[in-house]
Structure 1
Amino acid sequence: MSKIPVYMMPGLAASTAIFERIQLPEDEFEIHLLEWEIPLDNESLKEYARRITKKITHSNPVLIGVSFGGILIQEMAQFIKVRKVIIISSVKSNLEFPRRFKLAKTTKAYKLIPMSLILNIENLAKFSFGETINKRLKLYEKFLSVRDIRYLNWAVEQVILWDRTVVDESVIHIHGDADDVFPIKYIKDCIVVKGGAHIMILNKYKWLNEHLPALIKG
């Protein structure tokens, strides 16, 4: 029996290290990690999605994306046939954005948004690693690997200006009820993980390891 190819896309500026605790049965699944690339000049999200899609070498794969990676894989799914699209700590359309995102769009204030709002270093730092600066920096280096300012400005703009309003009903959405980037009160039709924050890919990995196989095959 051939294994199911599963491609995983991390969140905004994040490295593939965020998936290091995700383990799927090796006799059934084959995990492939996708990485962020620096956008080309004036590259749209759709164009970028098409370019990243070329990294996929298997037919009918499963796409799993976290946060902005979840937005990206929904765009990627327009260019290839996929078995499943699973988003974690993300949104299915811009209707699920919190008010501050919508305000940022209308006022163009997203150009002033501090990266910390999206990257949320403080939350990462608090996640079972203590509060020392040294540990915080090591954590930052490990999980947030893309520091190219052109990428960061592009990525924030692509999130804020994402124009999808019609939800793809086939998307499986896993969301924590303590997510502070995309609050649960704005999210519809999702599988709720109790106590899951925006970084639950790191600290709710046991839940994900337990439930992902059935969600993929179901």
Structure 2
Amino acid sequence: MAASSPLFYLLPGLGADERVFQNLQPLLQGTAHVLPWLTPTTGETLPRYVARMAEGVDPTQPCILVGVSFGGLVALEMRRIRPLARVVLISSIPDASCLPPLLRLIRNTGIYKLFPPQWLKLLPRAGQWYFGVKNGREYELFKQILRDMEPVYTRWAIDQLLRWDSTDTGGQSLQILGTQDRVFPPGPTPVDYLIPGGGHFMVLSHAPEISRVLNTLAEEPSSQAASRLPISDGSTTGQSR
């Protein structure tokens, strides 16, 4: 991929859409396409769903798949069938072993199956705390995203996240986490880039820091995809995996 013309594909988080990239997308030095979520068909498997999503990704062009939260999981799965892609995880996890204790408990008890996704729309303040959403414009956008969530997709995606088998996802990825992320908090596994003060919604709140990592990655040869990326102002720190 030419350094002067990087190609990004952006996958939003579970239930979100292109609005979460409104601060990040203008800062990316290249072409950036948001891949909208599709409505899953009855009984659709994750590999089949990912294959349909991948129809929006040019298989002949090197690119960077940027996945936020559940979008990171889909990006990792998509790399199986788009081997020219490099994966960057924002507020996401590189494999199922990194699922935090709270989500493991929810998975093991199956309690998530008892509550319809529409209930999330009734608890915006709880969601604000859990996702680290700031008051003001961010919170208003968060409420709009909750309001617009499609229940069939949301229930399916939650189930896929909690039952994900992450074996053989095709190589290394670069992980960007926020130090204040309550959904996928930094744990004992080293993280490539930690964004100070970033919560789970940091793709919106910390877009400048994230864009610097992505733009630097886009300038590197594919063979250096997993290496640390220097950030000149020191606002982002990282650990190599």
Task: State the TM-score bracket (shorter-chain normalisation).
Answer: 0.7 to 0.9
Equivalent residue number for residue 92 of structure 2: 90
Equivalent residue number for residue 140 of structure 1: 143
C-alpha contact (below 8 Å) 2:27/2:208 kept by paired residues: no
C-alpha contact (below 8 Å) 1:125/1:136 kept by paired residues: no
**Aligned partners of 1:109 and 1:95: how far apart in 2?**
20
User: Per-residue displacement from partner, 1:42-88 (whole Å, max 9, x unpaired)?
Assistant: 11111111110001136222100100001111001101123411010
1:126 positional shift: 4.8
C-alpha contact (below 8 Å) 2:80/2:170 kept by paired residues: no
**Aligned partners of 2:167 and 2:196: how far apart in 1?**
27
Q: What is the letter of the counterpart of residue 47 of structure 2?
A: K
Matches within 5 A, 1:30-45: 30-45=31-46
The answer to whether structure 1 residue 6 and structure 2 residue 13 are counterparts is no
Q: What is the letter of the counterpart of residue 185 of structure 2?
A: P
- TM-score (norm. length: structure 2): 0.77
Equivalent residue number for residue 155 of structure 2: 153
Matches within 5 A, 1:88-127: 88-112=90-114, 115=117, 116=120, 121-123=127-129, 126-127=133-134
Partner SS, residue 173 of structure 1? strand
**Aligned partners of 1:203 and 1:81: how far apart in 2?**
31
**Aligned partners of 1:145 and 1:39: how far apart in 2?**
19
- Structure 1's 163 and 80: CA in aligned 2 closer, same or farther, altered over 3 A? same
How many residue pairs get matched? Answer: 210
C-alpha contact (below 8 Å) 1:92/1:168 kept by paired residues: no
Structure 2 unaligned segments of length 5 or more: list them: 221-241
Partner SS, residue 181 of structure 2? coil
1:207 positional shift: 0.6
Larger deviation: 149-158 or 108-117? Answer: 108-117
- TM-score (norm. length: structure 1): 0.84
Larger deviation: 55-64 or 152-161? Answer: 55-64
Q: What is the letter of the counterpart of residue 37 of structure 2?
A: W
C-alpha contact (below 8 Å) 1:15/1:145 kept by paired residues: no
Structure 1 unaligned segments of length 5 or more: list them: none
Q: Over aligned residues, Cα RMSD in angstroms?
A: 2.7
Equivalent residue number for residue 73 of structure 2: 71
Partner SS, residue 127 of structure 1? coil
C-alpha contact (below 8 Å) 1:13/1:145 kept by paired residues: no
C-alpha contact (below 8 Å) 1:9/1:64 kept by paired residues: yes
